């Protein structure tokens, strides 16, 4: 796709400085990133490299200190339903059922009841929770809670889903299952996804493009187009070649920081 096409999300020389008393901490410096509609992009890097800061700026929870955060070429001035955020801790309302959690956004925006119910039913089915529509979050497994969180974002008409280590707290088998389900959901809906992870393997499995960030202050170091066919085999020689390449780059960041 031509670079002249307006990206759905763009960071232009974006930086973020936090004030802490008399000190200031530069969390992100000169970040440039273009996310095209329908892409699945993973951000990887060590703790403290600015991944979550960049994601929060994209969501509108943080303002760039320098540079710009844009959606469809327009400045991001605050949170909005077109940019849905999915957190590691689910962020569900414990007093609402699965159905009411997913329908919270459309209801808040005054959607007609019939339209709202059709929307909620569609997304409950899409994430495979039809039999759990009327239960409450405390009755669900971690994987089910995360599927509710994803469905809630989609039901609110999100054009891009911003995911901050959403599977980080799950056991290995649940994590693998949800990775498969997320790729399937992405391929069926044409969603755009920006996904933060510490896991190199997860990034290679999920992404069209992996963006590597380096710490101190955080900046975008390199981008890699993952040209492996889907579904991806994590045991294949090609997958392991990508794992070696990205692991080598992240280890070089640690070595520079230590030095």
Chain segment 145-202, per-residue pLDDT in tens: 999 999 998 888 889 999 999 988 888 888 898 999 899 989 988 899 999 999 999 9
* H-state helical runs in 103-214: 104-108, 113-126, 142-155, 172-189, 200-206
> In whole numbers, what is the pLDDT of the chain averaged over residues?
89
Q: What is the pLDDT of residue 253?
A: 62
Structure tokens at 103: 């329908």
How far lies 76's CA from each of 36, 41, 113, 137, 253, in Å?
16, 19, 30, 32, 31
pLDDT for the residue 255: 53
Cis peptide upstream of residue 65 (ω within 30 degrees of 0)? no
pLDDT at 257: 56
Residue 1 has pLDDT above 70, yes or no: no
Residue 6 has pLDDT above 60, yes or no: yes
Nearest to 92 by CA among 123, 138, 154: 138
Domain 1-82+160-169+193-259: CATH superfamily, name plus number: P-loop containing nucleotide triphosphate hydrolases (3.40.50.300)
- Residue 227 and residue 225: Cα distance in Å, rounded? 6
Where residue 256 falls among pLDDT bands split at 50, 70, 90?
low
Give the pair of three-digit tokens for residue 146. 């995360």
**Domains of the chain by residue range:** 1-82+160-169+193-259
The pTM assigned to this predicted structure is 0.90
As given in the structure block, the two tokens for residue 179 are: 């990775």
% residues pLDDT > 70 (the chain): 96
The residues near 124 (Cβ < 8 Å, ≥ 6 apart) are: 98, 99, 102, 130, 133, 151
Q: Read off the pLDDT of residues 189-204 as tens digits, 9 standing for 90 and up.
A: 889 999 999 999 999 9
166: Cβ–Cβ under 8 A, 6 or more apart, which residues? 86, 87, 88, 146, 149, 150, 178, 195
Question: Mean of the pLDDT values across residues 238-242?
Answer: 96
């Amino acid at each position: 796709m031509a670079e002249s096409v307006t990206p759905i999300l763009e960071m232009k020389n974006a930086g973020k400085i936090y004030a802490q008393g008399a000190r200031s901490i530069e969390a992100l410096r000169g970040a440039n990133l273009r996310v095209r509609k329908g892409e699945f992009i993973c951000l990887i890097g060590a703790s403290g490299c600015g991944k979550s800061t960049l994601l929060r700026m994209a969501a509108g929870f943080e303002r760039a200190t320098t540079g710009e955060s844009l959606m469809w070429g327009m400045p991001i001035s605050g949170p909005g339903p077109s940019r849905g955020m999915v957190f590691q801790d689910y962020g569900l309302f414990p007093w609402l059922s699965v159905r009411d959690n997913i329908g919270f956004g459309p209801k808040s925006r005054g959607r007609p009841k019939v339209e709202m119910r059709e929307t909620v039913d569609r997304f409950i089915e899409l994430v495979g929770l039809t039999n759990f529509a009327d239960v409450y979050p405390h009755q669900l497994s971690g994987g089910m809670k995360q599927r509710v969180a994803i469905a809630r974002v989609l039901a609110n008409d999100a054009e891009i889903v911003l995911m901050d280590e959403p599977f980080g707290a799950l056991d290995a088998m649940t994590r693998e299952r949800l990775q498969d389900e997320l790729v399937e959901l992405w391929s069926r809906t044409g969603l755009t996804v920006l996904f933060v992870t510490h896991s190199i393997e997860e990034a290679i499995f999920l992404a069209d493009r992996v963006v590597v960030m380096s710490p101190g202050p955080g900046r975008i170091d390199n981008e890699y187009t993952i040209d492996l066919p889907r579904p991806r085999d994590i045991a294949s020689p090609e997958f392991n070649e990508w794992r070696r390449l990205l692991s080598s780059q992240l280890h070089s960041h640690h070595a520079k920081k230590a030095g």
